[in-house]
A and B are shown apart, each in its own frame.
Chain A
Amino acid sequence: KNEVEQSPQNLTAQEGEFITINCSYSVGISALHWLQQHPGGGIVSLFMLSSGKKKHGRLIATINIQEKHSSLHITASHPRDSAVYICAVQKTSYDKVIFGPGTSLSVIP
């Protein structure tokens, strides 16, 4: 069983739409990461969360520890947001990161 699940697997949106990507996990964690990966590219850290909500520009990440669920929201989406968004968790500080399968987002002009 995968410890980290994401939905949807693929997402196509029109430019300007509000986007939500969901992540659920089955283990106790010390931190949850949202990461971005462009095709053939490296991994960029967007957020690291242990509780509550964080915002950076048009991106918002929330986490509900009791429900073992996190969401990544993108407001006013733009074609440059097209990428794979990956949810990943750490069970303890300094532990390895356990990756989800990723959500492939395509934003169409």
Chain B
Amino acid sequence: EPEVTQTPSHQVTQMGQEVILRCVPISNHLYFYWYRQILGQKVEFLVSFYNNEISEKSEIFDDQFSVERPDGSNFTLKIRSTKLEDSAMYFCASTSTGSGYTFGSGTRLTVV
């Protein structure tokens, strides 16, 4: 069964550093999403992306965050200057017409 692949599975970074989280959505999907889950809390929406542009973003998704689809397969989330409170599990998801909504296995980001 097709999967959404996320790399790395775990990333540790120093506060203030930039991180890029990578996702490879299912190949024929057209709608892409990032979510995050702070430890012990529910999953929260960050941003949705369609047709090479952001279609919706939450208030969490401030100027520190950006998303990009640099080629036909990757979908990335960049955090420019990480803060301690950015420590969370980040999930990518994708969907398309007639397809289910598929989540990746997540990247655990730890900011120290």
Contacts and interface: CB of A to CB of B under 8 A. Distances in A.
Interface of A: 31, 33, 35, 40-45, 48, 86, 88, 90, 94-102
Interface residues of B, number: 21
B106 A100 contact: no
Nearest to A33: B101
A43 B43 contact: yes
B106 A43 contact: yes
Q: Is the interface of B mostly helix, strand, loop or mixed?
A: strand
Q: Is the interface of A mostly helix, strand, loop or mixed?
A: strand
B100 interface: yes
Interface of B: 31, 33, 35, 42-45, 48, 50, 56, 91, 93, 95, 100-106, 108
A88 B43 CA distance: 10
B104 A94 contact: no
B94 to A, nearest CB: 10
B101 A96 contact: no
B29 to A, nearest CB: 10
Contacts of B33: 96-97
A90 B50 CA distance: 16
Nearest to B56: A96
